[in-house]
Amino acid sequence: MNEDEILNKIDEFHEERISKILLGETPGTFLEGGKILLMIIPFGAFSLSKDINLSRFKGEYRIIEPLLYHTGEQMFDFDGLLHFMARNDGKWLSYVRVYPNSIIESVEGGSLRSDQDEIPYIEIEREIMFKTERYLNFLKDLGIEFPVVIFLDFLGVKDLKIVYHRKDAHFDNIHPIDRENLNLPRLIINEPVDTKKIFKSSFDRIWMACGYPRCYDYNEAGEFIAE
């Protein structure tokens, strides 16, 4: 396959997963509210000569972890290996799935709950960057090569907002998100990267959806400063 054909297959898979998540077709039942979808799809995912042996990661909980959580449970399903976090009532908060063809899908549904209207943006941004770095290192250890495509989507987030707490800052026309889903442009990664840098454009767009001109967790030089 040429690059355009590969990207078409990658886009189709990503769109299919979004559709199923929006329909509630997830491996566990989530809380009501929005969800964050982070997907990493290697170019070679649809042309691997054989599946990854996922059984060797059974019990290795710290190898790959879900967004915003570092503990949880593990299980296999038809689509691959799951590491998930659930509440005592059985409602899921987050999961990460490794598919046998090396695709990583991470869904978080505990931080954008329907009973709140603010996005905990600093915590989410840090975690997306940190876990993406961990996921890329996991793929590297598997021998999976670049390029990879990274997708970031905020689903079911209409009416949520970012409240920027700096007292010396003032912005006009700040508003809640005006649409259900924020589908950020795909990121094509050809080599090891600083995840703090690659997500700046995505975080800018999320802040813009709330009325800000850019993400203010970065300075004017493009450096992430919300450590």
Q: Based on the number of CB atoms within 10 Å of its own CB, is 181 exposed (0-12), middle (13-18) or buried (19 or more)?
A: middle
Domain contains 206: no
- The overall pTM is greater than 0.85: yes
CA 68/CA 54 separation, integer angstroms? 23
Of 1, 146, 221, the residue nearest 9 (C-alpha):
1
CA 62/CA 159 separation, integer angstroms? 35
At 142-198, the pLDDT tens digits run: 999 999 999 999 999 999 999 997 766 678 889 999 999 999 999 999 999 999 999
pLDDT at 170: 73
Domain contains 65: yes
pLDDT at 167: 64
Domain contains 227: no
Domain contains 219: no
Domain contains 201: no
Question: Total domain count for the chain?
Answer: 1
CA-based torsion, 215, 218, 223, 224: positive or negative: negative
Q: Based on the number of CB atoms within 10 Å of its own CB, is 38 exposed (0-12), middle (13-18) or buried (19 or more)?
A: buried
Domain contains 156: yes
Range of the domain at 127: 3-195
At 210-226, the pLDDT tens digits run: 999 999 999 999 999 98
Average pLDDT of 51-63? 82
Domain contains 162: yes
Domain contains 213: no
Q: Is 151 in contact with 38 (CB distance < 8 Å)?
A: yes
